[in-house]
Amino acid sequence: MNFELGDVLIRREDIGQRVREMASDISSAYGDKELVLVGVLKGAVVFLSDLIRSLPVSMVIELDFLGVSSYGSSTESSGVVRIIKDLDINISGRNVIVVEDIVDTGLTLSYLMNILRERDPETLDVCALLDKPSRRKTDIDIAFRGFEIPDEFVVGYGLDYSGKWRNLPEIYTVTEKS
């Protein structure tokens, strides 16, 4: 199937505003505790980079990344998750927040959370910019959530379709090319 850009779903200003609010929520929740932010590659990179710059400069934050297999070139989740890049650091006893672009079926995050929980972090939370609750196949507790969106495939602000459109500053829906 071939897709083209549809409408803007979330405007740049609204993303910026919400990211600042989420950073403020994180800072209130953790106070002066040291944090490890784990970005899930590649979609969460744009969100993560804005998020850390909205956190107070006094917060001590370590960054790490997890690479997982995703949709490939299709827009449907296979439910199969594979770790392509593991963490570099030991998270035992640390306060960890997993930063995701979008929670759809929840299968990816559920798998990742199980793996990370086994490594004995002091705390483990999820921060996701977008949430499509209508598609959920497993329970996920999202401590910090940006926007709830309808069941539409979206791109931009780090999210891609076949490697395209990650660089868009706004979040768009895609439509099927006729």
The window from 3-11, 22-30, 117-125, 158-166 that contacts ligand 5GP (CB under 6 A) reads: 158-166
- Of 101, 104, 125, 131, the active-site residue reads 104
What ranges make up the beta strands (E) of 3-153? 3-10, 35-41, 61-68, 83-85, 95-103, 123-131, 144-148
The answer to the question of residue 15 lying near ligand 5GP (CB under 6 A) is no
Q: Which of 39, 43, 121, 146 binds ligand 5GP (CB under 6 A)?
A: 43
User: Is 104 an active-site residue?
Assistant: yes
27 — phi, psi (to 5°)? -65, -35
From the CB of 105, what's the least distance to ligand 5GP, in Å?
3
The answer to the question of residue 159 lying near ligand 5GP (CB under 6 A) is yes
The answer to the question of residue 102 lying near ligand 5GP (CB under 6 A) is yes
The answer to the question of residue 104 lying near ligand 5GP (CB under 6 A) is yes
The answer to the question of residue 121 lying near ligand 5GP (CB under 6 A) is no
Q: Which run of H or of E encompasses 143?
A: none
Whether 52 contacts 65, CB under 8 Å: no
Q: Tokens 């999210």 appear where?
A: 159
Whether 103 contacts 43, CB under 8 Å: no
Give how far Cα 135 sits from Cα of 10, 73, 102, Å. 19, 19, 11
Strand 171-176 relative to strand 3-10: parallel, antiparallel, unpaired?
antiparallel
The answer to the question of residue 158 lying near ligand 5GP (CB under 6 A) is no
The answer to the question of residue 107 lying near ligand 5GP (CB under 6 A) is yes
Q: Which is nearer to ligand 5GP, 121 or 158 (CB)?
A: 158
The answer to the question of residue 173 lying near ligand 5GP (CB under 6 A) is no
Q: Which run of H or of E encompasses 154?
A: strand 154-155
Q: Which of 20, 30, 45, 71 binds ligand 5GP (CB under 6 A)?
A: 71
From the CB of 64, what's the least distance to ligand 5GP, in Å?
17
- Residues catalogued as catalytic: 104
